[in-house]
Amino acid sequence: MDLGRQMQGRSLLQITDLTDGELFYLLDLAAMLKQEKKAGASRQRLAHKNLALIFEKMSTRTRCACAVAASDEGGHTEFLTTQDIHLGKKESVADTARVLGRMFDGILFRGYKQETVVALAQHAGVPVWNGLTDAHHPTQAMADLMTVREHFGRLRGIRLVYVGDGRNNVATSLMLACAKAGMHFVNATPASLVPDAKLVRWCEDRAQLNGGSLKVEHDPAVAVQDANVVYTDVWVSMGEEQQQSERLELLRPYQVNAALMEKTGHTEDGQLIFLHCLPAFHDHNTEVTRDLGALEVTDDVFEGAFSRVFDQAENKMHSMKALFVASAGGAAV
């Protein structure tokens, strides 16, 4: 079966739901759809398709990426928060899934528990996509790899160093995606935030098969040596706010700043970029950082020559579009 046909009707709950080939298929499709949009030649591959977007947590990029991606291709999205629907309160996840599945052609879920998105997929009868849970953020990893490939022209052999909370949703999905793409992934994180050992073993094996590698390293200065991509995320993820003060103390030595970027040895040769899934605490302009200063990244890096964070944010839309078109667009690709 060709990959386009194979993707039809498929859910994406975590990166391992995709074969390595399917991940590359989606990245190729995203690049093609991006070119098409820039040329003003988008088609109507989601015409008459209705997509439900369920959000328990806040979002700027993921929500807007879904809305624009669907609209570009003639589809419609319905944004539903837990203030709007009965989910989990008056109605079970299974019943909600069965109702929405009778009306919509796909469901994106952003929220807390991975079990919720799994249950939606079990009962909906239409594709369900994970737009972030506590455990995984697979659509972010797709945008990340798309951005890396745009810059370097390839993924295999690229060294990506993730610096920060090594076991959060973004780190987990990125680690899985890098292993599938044959990249060298280094997770620079304190001992108390290392990713699950089983997950690390899986990624090591898969990376090795694909010509890549995986390493967990506690010293950020050692970790970033020879990095092509330095990546960070917030130190306190949504839902973990009560751990803020201990996290800040723990992760201060992992701040991405100009001195750390220098340690890569690649600041002169065009072989280095900086990525962040956003939102980022990079200066004093948010409510949270007004009194704290920059947290996970300093302004000189965030606003500096290596930063590709807004390409990455844009690519959320193109890669989300690829996912919608491939799994809900019928044979329209």
Please provide residue 52's backbone torsions phi and psi, each rounded to the nearest 5 degrees. -90, 135
Does 169 participate in binding ligand NVA (rule CB under 6 A)?
yes
Helix/strand/coil for 78: strand
Number of residues that bind ligand CP (CB under 6 A): 8
Of 278, 283, 299, 300, the one binding ligand CP by CB under 6 A: 278
* Interaction of residue 14 with ligand NVA, rule CB under 6 A: no
Query: Which two three-digit tokens encode residue 159?
Result: 């060294």
Give yes or no for residue 96 binding ligand CP (CB under 6 A).
no
Report what 60 binds from ligand NVA, ligand CP, none; CB cut-off 5-8 Å by kind. Answer: ligand CP
Question: Which of 12-20, 233-241, 259-267, 285-293 is the region at the interface with ligand NVA (rule: CB under 6 A)?
Answer: 233-241
CA distance 158 to 211: 10
3 binds, among ligand CP, ligand NVA, none (CB under 5 to 8 A by kind): none
The binder of 188, among ligand CP, ligand NVA, none, by C-beta within 5 to 8 A per type, is none
- Out of 51, 132, 158, 176, the residue judged to bind ligand CP by CB under 6 A: 132
Q: Is 135 in the site for ligand NVA (CB under 6 A)?
A: no
Q: What are the φ/ψ torsions at residue 240 (nearest 5 degrees)?
A: -110, 20
Write down the least CB distance from residue 235 to ligand CP, Å.
15
E strands, the chain, are 50-55, 76-81, 106-110, 128-130, 159-163, 184-188, 213-217, 229-232, 273-276
To the nearest whole angstrom, how small is the minimum distance from the Cβ of residue 172 to ligand NVA? Answer: 10
DSSP code, position 12: B
Piece in contact with ligand NVA (CB under 6 A), picked from 211-219, 229-237, 245-253, 287-295 = 229-237
CB of 329 to ligand NVA, least distance (A): 26
Q: How far apart are CA 120 and CA 142, in angstroms?
A: 22
Among the listed residues 61, 151, 263, 266, the single contact to ligand CP using CB under 6 A: 61
Q: Which option in ligand NVA, ligand CP, none does residue 168 bind, with CB closer than 5 to 8 A by kind?
A: ligand NVA
Among 11, 14, 16, 62, binds ligand CP (CB under 6 A): 62
DSSP assignment of 289-307 equals: TTTT---SB-HHHHTSTTB
308 makes contact with ligand CP (CB under 6 A): no
Nearest CA to 328 among 105, 97, 131? 105
- Residues 92 and 86: their CA atoms lie apart, in Å, by 8
DSSP secondary structure of 29-66: HHHHHHHHHHTT----TTTT-EEEEEESS--SHHHHHH
Using rule CB under 6 A, residue 277 touches ligand NVA: yes
Q: Return the closest-CA partner of residue 232 out of 180, 179, 174.
A: 174
Residues near ligand NVA (CB under 6 A): 168-170, 233-234, 237-238, 277
Instruction: List residues near ligand CP by CB under 6 A.
Output: 59-62, 132, 140, 277-278
